[in-house]
Amino acid sequence: MRAALALGALVVALPAAAQPAAAPSYPAEMTQAQSDYVEHCGGCHGIHGIAAPADLPTLKDRVGWFTCLPQGRAYLVRLPNIARSRITDNDQLADLLNFMLFGLGGSSTPAGTKKFTGAEVAQARSTPFTSVSLVETRAVLVEQLIRQCGAPAALRLMYPGQAPPRLAATRSRKGG
């Protein structure tokens, strides 16, 4: 938990400093949900849902796969940064998540996916994940998404093209 928080703080500091040059293609007037995303999530995940090569999951054209299974929908809300968001209004948080799914998720969001409602968000965020269980939870879920929903194998990674963690660890051990 402490390590994940420290990582989060580090990650948020880097892109925030680089932000003035970003964002050329955002419309001049953003919806509340878009500006909530930019303010509360974009510092880490990138305002267009891509933060690679930082070790953060790419949301763009990928995050929608999680809605294919009920436990995947719940996963999206129970993530610590979402469940414990400073946005306390559940309808407002649902709008943010819908922007993430239908705006950033692109074709990864299955046709016919239902929008999040405030009630669904309220229920799922009442049992937030702890950072300790998160990696394992994601790994199990992604295998289900690959098997049952035809999600791409690259969903196992944080972003397409990321060096697999074990390979990276081996390399740095050898290199050092």
**Chain residues in the site for ligand HEC (CB under 6 A):** 4, 8, 11-12, 40-41, 43-45, 56-57, 59, 63, 76, 79-82, 85, 100, 131, 134, 138
**147/174 with CB nearer ligand HEC:** 147
**166/174 with CB nearer ligand HEC:** 166
**11/50 with CB nearer ligand HEC:** 11
112 φψ region: left (φ > 0), alpha (ψ -120 to 50), beta (else): left
Question: What is the Cβ-side half-sphere exposure of residue 47, based on CA atoms within 13 angstroms?
Answer: 18
From CA 144, how far away is CA 150, in angstroms rounded? 9
Work out how close the CB of 150 gets to ligand HEC at its nearest, in angstroms, rounded to a whole number.
16
CA 152 from chain centre, in angstroms, equals 16
Work out how close the CB of 85 gets to ligand HEC at its nearest, in angstroms, rounded to a whole number.
5
**70/176 with CB nearer ligand HEC:** 70
- Taking a C-beta distance cutoff of 8 angstroms, is the pair 84, 48 a contact? no
CA-CA-CA-CA dihedral for 38, 39, 41, 44, to nearest 10: 90
Work out how close the CB of 174 gets to ligand HEC at its nearest, in angstroms, rounded to a whole number.
26
**6/176 with CB nearer ligand HEC:** 6
From CA 157, how far away is CA 160, in angstroms rounded? 7
Work out how close the CB of 77 gets to ligand HEC at its nearest, in angstroms, rounded to a whole number.
9
Work out how close the CB of 7 gets to ligand HEC at its nearest, in angstroms, rounded to a whole number.
6
From CA 42, how far away is CA 34, in angstroms rounded? 10
Residue nearest to ligand HEC (CB): 41
